[in-house]
Amino acid sequence: MLRHAKSSWGNDSLADRDRPLAERGHHDARRMDDYLRANELRPDLVLCSPARRTRETLELVAGAVAGAETTIEAALYGAEAPEILAVLHTIEPAHGCVMIIGHNPGLEDLVMDLAGDGDPTAMDQLRTKFPTAALAVLDLGETGWPQLAPGSGYLARLVLPRHLH
């Protein structure tokens, strides 16, 4: 689960879904691309909200997700945790590693719901905040997409852009 990078609030006339990334957002998303590549975290499916800031985040992590099937998923815009989970339930079993690029509070709530357990440091950070451009890596074990339910995952890591150099 990748939360979109920091968006700009510089133009009050823009609708929420049309807000672009801020300069910091561009920087943080590029850092996350470097991290994903260096750690060989390569999804085979990427589902991205249609909001401009999520699509720009996707563009900036394109090197890390090269070769993945990518879908702009309308249901992810403004989605709450149950709605995101419903999208995950529709994923074909052939997809082993999936990345969702979306928004809070839905992503944070879903990660908390799915991560019945996890790395203690990552769980503490997640309880505090799931900041922009943060990446939550969940290990779902043998759980199939249609069977995902609260507590069925393990939060393997939570990566924050400010901790990347």
DSSP per-residue string spanning 79-144: --HHHHHHHHHTS-TT--SEEEEE-TTHHHHHHHHHEEEE-HHHHHHHHH---TT-EEEEE-TT--
Task: For each of the domains in the chain, give its residue range(s) and CATH number, in order of start.
Answer: 2-163 (3.40.50.1240)
What pTM value is reported for the model? 0.95
* Phi/psi of residue 10, nearest 5 degrees: -75, -15
pLDDT at 121: 87
pLDDT of residue 27: 97
pLDDT at 10: 83
pLDDT of amino acid 47: 98
pLDDT score at 127:
87
The mean of the pLDDT values for the chain is 94
**What's the pLDDT tens digit per position in 40-98?**
999 999 999 999 999 999 999 999 999 999 999 999 999 999 999 999 999 999 999 99
Check whether 165 has a pLDDT greater than 80.
no
Band the pLDDT of 117: cuts 50, 70, 90. Answer: confident
Average pLDDT over residues 133-149: 94
